C-alpha cells in the first residue's frame, strides 16, 4: 500500500499504460480521478468501483485548459486533495519530416506538450497549498535516441524531459517533485498500430529480448509517486529493457 490515502489524477487512463497505472494505483491504496477522451473509461471506473476502489472517470481532453481546470476542481472537491498528477495521455501521428502535415505536427504538439502544460498548471496551486505533490509525465526513450518518422512526437517527448527539470527547480520548495519516465517499446494500441516489420525489428535492439508490458511502466509511476521517492526530482527514468543509448 505504497500510495495509501493518496489522491491521484491520471490522464489517458482508459487504455494502455494509463489503464495499467490506474489499476496499479488503486491496488497501492490510492484514490484515482482519471480522464480520457474515450468513453471506455466509464466501464473501467464502474468495474473498479464495484471492486471497492475509490475512482472517478471524467471525459476530458487535456488540450482544453478550461475542461482541465473544471475537472481538476471537481476531483479536488470530490477527494479533498490532489497529491499526484500522472501526465500519461499521448498520441502519435508518424510521418517522415518532408511528408508531415501541419495538422499532424499540431495535433501531437497539442496533446503531448500543451496537454501536459495544461494539467500541470491546473494542479500545482493545489499541491502548493498542501505543501506536497508528485508530478510524473510520460516521455519516451525515443527522446534520447531519436526515431524514424517521429519529428513531432520526439519533439514533445524531449520537451517533457526539459520541462520536468524546470519544474523540479521551481516547485521543490513547495514539497513538490517532478519526474518523467521514458518507456521503451511497450505493447499497447499505440505500438500495435506500427507496421509488423518495425515491431519485429525493434526486438533486435532490446537487450532483455522482449517488449515491455504496460504494468512495467505503471510500477515506475508508483515508485516516483510514493513517499519513498521524496528525494528524487528532475529525473527521467528510462524503462526500456536496456534499449536506449
Q: Which is nearer to ligand NAD, 38 or 49 (CB)?
A: 38
Question: For residues 17 and 237, which CB has a smaller minimum distance to ligand NAD in the complex?
Answer: 17
Q: Which residues bind ligand NAD (CB under 6 A)?
A: 11-12, 14-18, 35-38, 61-63, 88-91, 111, 115, 138, 140, 183, 185-186, 188-191
Indicate the residue among 26 and 138 with the shorter CB distance to ligand NAD: 138
**Closest CB 189 distance from ligand NAD, rounded Å:** 4
Task: Name the catalytic one among 153, 174, 221, 223.
Answer: 153
Could you tell me the smallest distance in angstroms from the CB atom of residue 175 to ligand NAD?
26
Closest distance between ligand NAD and the C-beta of residue 131, in Å? 28
Instruction: Judge whether 221 counts as a catalytic residue.
Output: no
Least Å distance between CB 231 and ligand NAD? 25
Closest residue by Cα to residue 83 from 188, 212, 230: 230
> In angstroms, what is the minimal distance from the CB of 20 to ligand NAD?
8
- Nearest residue (CB) to ligand NAD, 174 versus 203: 203
Q: What is the dihedral of CA 9, 13, 17, 20, to 10 degrees?
A: 90
Residue numbers annotated as active site: 153
Amino acid at each position: 500500500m505504497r500510495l495509501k490515502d493518496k489522491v491521484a489524477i491520471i490522464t489517458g487512463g482508459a487504455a494502455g499504460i494509463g489503464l495499467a497505472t490506474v489499476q496499479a494505483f488503486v491496488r497501492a491504496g490510492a484514490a484515482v480521478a482519471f480522464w480520457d477522451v474515450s468513453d471506455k473509461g466509464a466501464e473501467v471506473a464502474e468495474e473498479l468501483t464495484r471492486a471497492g476502489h475509490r475512482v472517478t472517470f471524467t471525459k476530458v481532453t487535456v488540450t482544453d485548459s478550461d475542461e482541465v481546470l473544471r475537472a481538476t476542481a471537481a476531483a479536488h472537491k470530490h477527494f479533498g486533495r490532489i497529491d499526484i498528477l500522472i501526465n500519461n495521455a499521448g498520441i502519435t501521428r508518424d510521418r517522415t519530416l518532408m511528408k508531415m502535415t501541419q495538422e499532424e505536427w499540431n495535433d501531437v504538439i497539442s496533446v503531448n506538450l500543451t496537454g501536459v502544460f495544461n494539467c500541470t498548471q491546473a494542479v500545482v496551486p493545489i499541491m502548493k497549498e498542501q505543501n506536497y505533490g508528485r508530478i510524473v509525465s510520460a516521455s519516451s526513450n525515443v527522446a534520447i535516441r531519436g526515431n524514424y518518422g517521429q519529428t513531432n512526437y520526439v519533439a514533445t517527448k524531449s520537451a517533457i524531459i526539459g520541462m520536468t527539470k524546470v519544474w523540479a527547480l521551481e516547485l521543490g520548495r513547495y514539497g513538490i517533485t517532478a519526474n518523467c519516465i521514458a518507456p521503451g517499446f511497450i505493447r499497447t494500441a499505440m505500438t500495435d498500430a506500427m507496421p509488423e516489420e518495425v515491431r519485429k525489428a525493434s526486438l533486435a535492439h532490446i537487450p532483455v529480448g522482449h517488449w515491455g508490458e504496460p504494468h512495467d511502466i505503471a510500477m515506475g509511476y508508483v515508485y516516483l509517486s510514493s513517499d519513498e521517492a521524496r528525494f528524487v526530482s528532475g529525473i527521467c527514468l528510462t524503462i526500456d529493457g536496456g534499449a536506449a543509448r
